Amino acid sequence: MSIELTDIVLTYPDGDTTVTALDRVSLEARRGEMHAVVGPSGSGKSSLLAVASTLIRPDSGCVRIDGAEATSLSPAELSRLRMSRIGIVFQQPNLVSSLTAVEQLLVTEHMRGRSVRSRREEAGRLLTIVGLDGKQHRRPAQLSGGERQRVNIARALTGDPHVLLVDEPTAALDHDRGAQIMDLLADITTEYEVATVVVTHDTEYLDRADTVSRMRDGRLTTDAIAAGSGGARR
Ligand SMILES: Nc1ncnc2c1ncn2[C@@H]1O[C@H](COP(=O)(O)OP(=O)(O)OP(=O)(O)O)[C@@H](O)[C@H]1O
């Protein structure tokens, strides 16, 4: 099991009271599996990703990444765990406008403390895998929205993560591009053997996932029909 959340409770202060964003949420994904979490705005999806990525510590419950219990680690240990095991695809690609696609990946490698020179070839390979062969030296303004999202995904794969957390990957894309990005995520999940968790409000592409859970008012229920279907394209 690569990522396992058990009985997670997360509350935020709200004036004199509190909002329960996650209410005893449990979720798991093994390497090579894609778990989609679908729910409307405000249901708790971003909070779930923030806890899964170890960026927010829950009030209670347990987060295990590759068997390591994140909730019991020090901030420095957590930071190392995040760097070495978790790739995050943020909703907004947040690319640096002056850098080419390959440089976007190399900046991340640099921040991970790796030699940029030795990682250049790997960065090029990752961009080819996400379908950007021949566009590696383009800057964000020279790429389409779908292509920028592909750079975003390649960047999240730079550290050879075991867990890939993806926030609303199709939010800014039309139907065809959205379908292509979900297909790409399903392919990467199996080929790289990552445990992928995708949160989305979009119900259209759920057939790509091995497991589908639905989030409403901070509660998660797993879809018995879709669970274990193996994804539509496999
Ligand atoms: N920093 C915060 N302070 C107080 N309440 C918050 C905070 N962040 C989220 N919430 C509340 O927690 C609940 C879950 O929010 P969350 O952003 O996780 O949902 P979401 O499904 O990701 O929604 P969206 O798609 O709109 O981002 C909502 O009621 C929201 O208003």
* CATH number, residue 124: 3.40.50.300
Q: Is residue 28 part of a domain?
A: yes
> For residue 227, is it within any domain?
no
Mutate to test the pocket of ligand 1, among 9, 14, 47 (most ligand atoms within 8 A of CB): 47
Q: Residue 118's domain spans which residues?
A: 3-222
- Let me know if residue 228 belongs to a domain: no
The H or E element containing residue 190 is helix 175-191
Q: Is residue 17 part of a domain?
A: yes
Closest ligand 1 atom to Cα of 47: 18
Assess if residue 234 is contained within a domain: no
What is the mean pLDDT of the segment spanning 69-80? Answer: 89
Domain count, the chain: 1
**Main-chain phi, psi angles of 109, to 5 degrees:** -60, -45
CB 128 within 8 A of CB 102: no
pLDDT digits (tens, 9 = 90+) for 149-160: 999 999 999 988
Q: 13-17, 36-40, 108-112, 214-218: lowest mean pLDDT where?
A: 108-112
| Average pLDDT in the chain | 90
What is the ipTM, given to two decimal places? Answer: 0.94
DSSP-derived letter for residue 13 is: E
H and E: helices and strands count for the chain: 6, 10
pLDDT tens digits, 24-40:
999 999 999 999 999 99
C-alpha span between 153 and 187 (Å, rounded): 12
pLDDT in tens, 105-129: 999 888 877 777 778 888 999 999 9
pTM comes to: 0.90
Averaged pLDDT for residues 69-98: 90
Report yes or no on 33 lying in a domain: yes
